[in-house]
Amino acid sequence: MKIIVTGGAGFIGGNFVHYMMNKYKDYKIICLDALTYAGNMETLESVQDNPNFKFYKADIADRNAVYEIFEKEKPNIIVNFAAESHVDRSIDNPSIFLQTNVLGTGVLMDACRKYGIDRYHQVSTDEVYGDLPLDRPDLFFTETTPLHTSSPYSASKASADLLVQAYHRTFKLPVTISRCSNNYGPYHFPEKLIPLMIANALADKELPVYGKGENVRDWLYVEDHCSAIDLIIHKGRVGEVYNIGGHNEKTNLEVVKIILKELNKSESLIKYVTDRPGHDMRYAIDPTKIHSELGWLPATKFEDGIKKTIQWYLDNKSWWQNIINGEYKKYYDLHYKGR
């Protein structure tokens, strides 16, 4: 079995590479990643010398490069994690999101048609459903909830989903799509809420909470996302969408306070800053379908996952400190200064 994992030098893709290589010792894992600001070869250091692992630096929107890799590798399965993934950056600069998330997905599917594959899996997000109101805790996103996007990021991910479904219907491409809630865990780029708050708290810097911190996210430990995708690519029904989430809703303020408590830091570090434009209020996944069809259940409770995550950031300081002291510093200053 040969699997191309795009975006494997990023947060979830990197965790997926490790998960699959640990679980399936005879699978060949081919990572295709453009190494944007979010890609990091240090994440893949421990597998680089494994003969079952191969890395190509390539852009999924570069048709020639993608076709060449397909021609050479003849993969059975493609799992597409590659994307511009940060909502705030999509507000600053939408066009790269269309380029990678929409056109790049189109190129990958054309390659699948041209060379033939057993499965194309699109890693999507709960953000394609838009948001839910805070005063209706009875509402959840199901696979039939209409797409209703808020940010250029979520609009680009929804566009890609529609394209994937169109290639299934029109060209009979064997596709699946998963829509997962917010992930957390090792190798999470420090621009995102949880690693950003851990890094700032450790440096006794202000923790910038958007608005009142009342927005709700549904957190899932990254390994549980990997196990769900593993099940879908092997046992999921072609043409289907599967929601992935573990019923773990928390307000941003709750998450930030948990991190401060774990690190023994004062809540006075919290700074309320100007809200994100178009900020989604609440995400909440109904995972009934993947549970009843494929038997998936998350293994890690938030209380344990957040402890493991904090410990990982304490044990791997050089991984994230290299990032926050590099090019990212400019983004941070631009985004947060005077906010």
| Catalytic positions | 126-127, 153
Spatial separation of the C-alpha atoms in residues 87 and 90, rounded to whole Å: 5
**Residue 50 interacts with, from ligand TDX, ligand NAD, none (CB under 5-8 Å by kind):** none
Burial code of 15-43, b = ≥16 C-beta within 10 A, e = fewer? bbbbbbbeeeeeebbbbbbbebebbbeeb
Q: Is 180 in the site for ligand NAD (CB under 6 A)?
A: yes
Spatial separation of the C-alpha atoms in residues 292 and 295, rounded to whole Å: 6
The helix/strand/coil state of 194 is: helix
- Residue among 3, 21, 44, 60 that touches ligand NAD (CB under 6 A): 60
The DSSP output letter for 135 is T
Place of tokens 């989430």: 245
Q: How near is the Cβ of 127 to ligand NAD at its closest, in Å? A: 7
Q: Which is nearer to ligand TDX, 68 or 214 (CB)?
A: 214
Residues 25-44 that bind ligand NAD (CB under 6 A): 33-36, 38-39
* From 6-14, 200-208, 235-243, 302-310, span contacting ligand NAD (CB under 6 A): 6-14
- Residue among 17, 209, 270, 310 that touches ligand TDX (CB under 6 A): 209
Q: Which is nearer to ligand NAD, 156 or 200 (CB)?
A: 156
Q: Is 236 in the site for ligand NAD (CB under 6 A)?
A: no
Q: How near is the Cβ of 65 to ligand TDX at its closest, in Å? A: 24
Q: How near is the Cβ of 295 to ligand NAD at its closest, in Å? A: 21
Please list the helix, strand and coil fractions of the chain in percent, rounded to the nearest 5, in that order: 45, 15, 35
Burial class (CB in 10 A: 0-12, 13-18, 19+), 255: buried
Spatial separation of the C-alpha atoms in residues 49 and 194, rounded to whole Å: 31
Q: Which of 14, 229, 237 lies closest to 122, judged by CA?
A: 229
Residue 102 in tokens: 């929409």
CB atoms within 10 A of CB 169: 10
* From 7-15, 144-152, 208-216, 267-275, span contacting ligand NAD (CB under 6 A): 7-15
Q: Is 56 in the site for ligand NAD (CB under 6 A)?
A: no
- Residue among 123, 132, 164, 256 that touches ligand NAD (CB under 6 A): 123
Residues 284-323 that bind ligand TDX (CB under 6 A): none
Angle, helices 317-324 vs 302-315, to 10°: value is: 70
Q: Which is nearer to ligand TDX, 2 or 335 (CB)?
A: 335
Q: Which residues bind ligand NAD (CB under 6 A)?
A: 6-7, 9-13, 33-36, 38-39, 59-61, 81-85, 100, 104, 123, 125, 157, 180, 182-183, 189
